[in-house]
Amino acid sequence: MNQQHRGQPKTENTQEPESAPAQEDEDTPQIQKKQTSQTANQQRIHEQHNQQGPDAPLPAPPPAPAPADATDVGVKLAAQLLGTSTAIVVAAGAGMSLDSGLPDYRSPAEWTAAFPELAARQLRYEDMAKAAHFDDSPRVVWAWYKHRYDTYQAAQPHAGYAVLKRWCDGARDGYRVFTSNVDGFFQRAGFPRSSVVECHGSMARLQCTSGKHGIWKSDAAFRKLSVDPQDPCTLAAGVEVPRCRTFGCQRHARPNILLFKDTAWEGTAATAHRGRYGAWLDALPDDSTLAILEVGAGNLVPTVRLEVERVVASRLARQQRTHVIRINPGRDVQDPSVQWPGQHVVIRGKAFDILTSIDAAMAMETA
């Protein structure tokens, strides 16, 4: 079936290289409706991430059933580990944001409920988050990113962020945040930007699709956008697609976030923050005890999980005390106490519930 939809991103078999060229006429992108089974779709997602570089997906560990009281036991142990720690790394994935009311774009049910028109055209999150579509289907992807930006702005960081901030402020040797989230919630919750590594970039900034010409704030561009009331899959008539701010460059702009099959992400700022974060880790005293709070980090995009593993391996090699507190609702999430020597814990549950439960347990210990 080769039916085409005007302004709709192409959804080809990703085993083949992306070959759609940038087009001058943004209203006539290359479009093709996909035909893939659910099994092939899952393979497709993993292949896309394999092409992003070093963040290859981790194999899913076998399910680890837990006793009924495992959550209470885990919460108490986490409270004890945090109470004896002198430094904190918060390693946060998408699960950290979900309790603020943000949708899980990778959930087929939530995607269909939030974007029925896109789902009807068999377009998913993985399709809308391709870098090439800012050139070949700009009006469609910018309409979706406008919705995404507005959703972030309307939501508020849940109380778990404030709990983390209080714990971090009390850490003798300081703290850092390492997150793959692009919503800016940590900064909105009071974390200084200098303490936050946004390893996949941020919706708060734009860049040129060329990957050149630096980055700039996105607020003004998003405020000028509006979606077609008759077709929410595209921008309203007369609304211009944001373009590069550099004089003489006529290329489209895009959010400064790492996308699928992205060879033009302007990651200079993220790299600089990551370097300062690494220097802080290296400068921690030998007698420090580091608590790594891994919250809502999965294996599909394993950047955060891989960073936790890197830090733990480095500190264990130097015989520095390190505790991993892994918070994730998945039943197949690996217990860090099986991965590494020392005291670690996995607590299966949502970020808000577990963080506030640990906070209550810490308060009881100090009462």
Same domain, 356 and 275: yes
Domain assignment present for residue 12? The answer is no
Same domain, 286 and 323: yes
Same domain, 357 and 290: yes
> Between 35 and 321, whose confidence is greater?
321
pLDDT-based confidence at residue 290 (cuts at 50, 70, 90): very high
Same domain, 93 and 220: no
pLDDT at 9: 60
Tell me the per-residue pLDDT of 273-285, one tens digit each, with 9 for 90 and over.
999 999 999 999 9
CATH code for the domain in which residue 248 is found:
3.30.1600
Distance CA 114, CA 96 (A): 20
pLDDT at 8: 55
pLDDT at 28 over 80: no
Look at residues 144, 155, 131, 117 and name the one whose alpha carbon lies nearest to residue 222: 144
H or E element at residue 102: none
Average pLDDT over residues 142-166: 97
Average pLDDT over residues 348-365: 95
| Total-model pTM | 0.81
Indicate the residue among 257, 289, 322 that finishes a domain: 257
Same domain, 142 and 80: no
Same domain, 164 and 195: yes
pLDDT-based confidence at residue 335 (cuts at 50, 70, 90): confident
The DSSP symbol for 24 reads S
Please name the residues in contact with 215: beta carbons below 8 A apart, sequence gap of 6 or more: 205, 206, 207, 256, 266, 268, 269
Q: State how many domains the chain has.
A: 2
pLDDT at 334: 86
pLDDT at 210 over 70: yes
Please name the residues in contact with 302: beta carbons below 8 A apart, sequence gap of 6 or more: 55, 56, 57, 58
pLDDT-based confidence at residue 61 (cuts at 50, 70, 90): very low
Among the ranges given (30-34, 121-125, 150-154, 261-265), the one the predictor scored with the smallest mean pLDDT: 30-34
Look at residues 209, 313, 220 and name the one whose alpha carbon lies nearest to residue 263: 209
pLDDT at 358: 97
Tell me the per-residue pLDDT of 85-122, one tens digit each, with 9 for 90 and over.
999 999 999 999 999 999 888 889 989 988 899 999 99
> Between 303 and 66, whose confidence is greater?
303
pLDDT at 241 over 80: yes
Domain assignment present for residue 14? The answer is no
H or E element at residue 98: helix 95-98
Same domain, 114 and 181: no
Domain assignment present for residue 139? The answer is yes
Contact 209, 254 (CB under 8 A): yes
Average pLDDT over residues 28-42: 35
Give the residue numbers spanning the domain of 295.
67-101+158-200+267-367
pLDDT at 267 over 50: yes
> Between 65 and 335, whose confidence is greater?
335
In 3-state terms, the chain is what percent helix, strand and coil (to 5)?
A: 40, 15, 45
pLDDT-based confidence at residue 331 (cuts at 50, 70, 90): confident
Q: How many CB atoms lie within 10 A of CB 111?
A: 20
CATH code for the domain in which residue 314 is found:
3.40.50.1220
Contact 297, 95 (CB under 8 A): yes
Same domain, 281 and 308: yes
Please name the residues in contact with 202: beta carbons below 8 A apart, sequence gap of 6 or more: 182, 184, 255, 256, 257
Same domain, 92 and 239: no
Question: What are the Cα distances from residue 221, in Å, to 151, 169, 226, 300?
Answer: 16, 35, 11, 31
Please compute Rg for the chain using Cα positions. Answer: 21
Q: How many CB atoms lie within 10 A of CB 69?
A: 8
pLDDT-based confidence at residue 55 (cuts at 50, 70, 90): very low
Q: How many CB atoms lie within 10 A of CB 224?
A: 11
Domain assignment present for residue 13? The answer is no
Active site residues: 200
Same domain, 175 and 250: no
Any idea of the CA torsion for 137, 93, 40, 144, to the nearest 10 degrees?
A: -20
Indicate the residue among 211, 231, 257 that finishes a domain: 257
pLDDT at 203 over 90: yes
Contact 251, 236 (CB under 8 A): no
The tokens describing 326, both together, are 């892994």
Domain assignment present for residue 346? The answer is yes
pLDDT at 138 over 90: yes
Domain assignment present for residue 150? The answer is yes
pLDDT at 367: 67
Domain assignment present for residue 339? The answer is yes
Domain assignment present for residue 11? The answer is no
Average pLDDT over residues 13-26: 33
Same domain, 288 and 206: no
Same domain, 237 and 308: no
